[in-house]
């Protein structure tokens, strides 16, 4: 158990509505990530954070924003959800040390109708 909690675990929302996914960690790791996973594309990085208020874009950041106001929380916001954002979203954490890997939360299944 890597001490990661994602919420909500499942959500159905309508096109055009804002959605926020929350990732909470209990182990004070410096790095936090948001990935989405889609058939044929694998895991793709959306945004990541390397400290409080320090974030950077990944390869599929368009349409997403993030915030990290506390070490333990990393929020992913879809400002105006689209059907193409229907996906499974995984939060991950890493200490950042060489050799350390990343550990994933249980995932958030988002459906945009």
Partner 1 sequence: QKEVEQNSGPLSVPEGAIASLNCTYSDRGSQSFFWYRQYSGKSPELIMFIYSNGDKEDGRFTAQLNKASQYVSLLIRDSQPSDSATYLCAVRGPTGNQFYFGTGTSLTVIP
Interacting span for partner 1 (CB under 8 A) from 12-20, 40-48, 62-70, 71-79: 40-48
Residue 5, SS3 per DSSP: strand
14 binds partner 1 (CB under 8 A): no
Interacting span for partner 1 (CB under 8 A) from 14-22, 31-39, 66-74, 77-85: 31-39
Closest to 39 (Cα-Cα) out of 81, 82, 87, 85: 87
Strand bridging mode 87-94 / 108-112:
antiparallel
Task: State the Cα–Cα distance between residues 75 and 87, nearest whole angstrom.
Answer: 16
Among 66, 81, 93, 102, which residue sits at the site for partner 1 (rule: CB under 8 A)?
A: 102
Within residues 55-74, the interface with partner 1 by CB under 8 A covers 56, 58
């Amino acid at each position: 158990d890597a001490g990661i909690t994602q919420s909500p675990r499942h959500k159905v929302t309508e096109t055009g509505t804002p959605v926020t996914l929350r990732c909470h960690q209990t182990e004070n790791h410096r790095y936090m990530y948001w990935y989405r996973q889609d058939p044929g594309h694998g895991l793709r990085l959306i945004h990541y954070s390397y400290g409080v208020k320090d974030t950077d874009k990944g390869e599929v950041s368009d349409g997403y924003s993030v915030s990290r106001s506390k070490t333990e929380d990393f929020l992913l916001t879809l400002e105006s959800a689209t059907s193409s954002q229907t996906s499974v979203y995984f939060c991950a954490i890493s200490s950042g040390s060489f050799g350390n890997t990343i550990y994933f939360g249980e995932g958030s299944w988002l459906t945009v109708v």
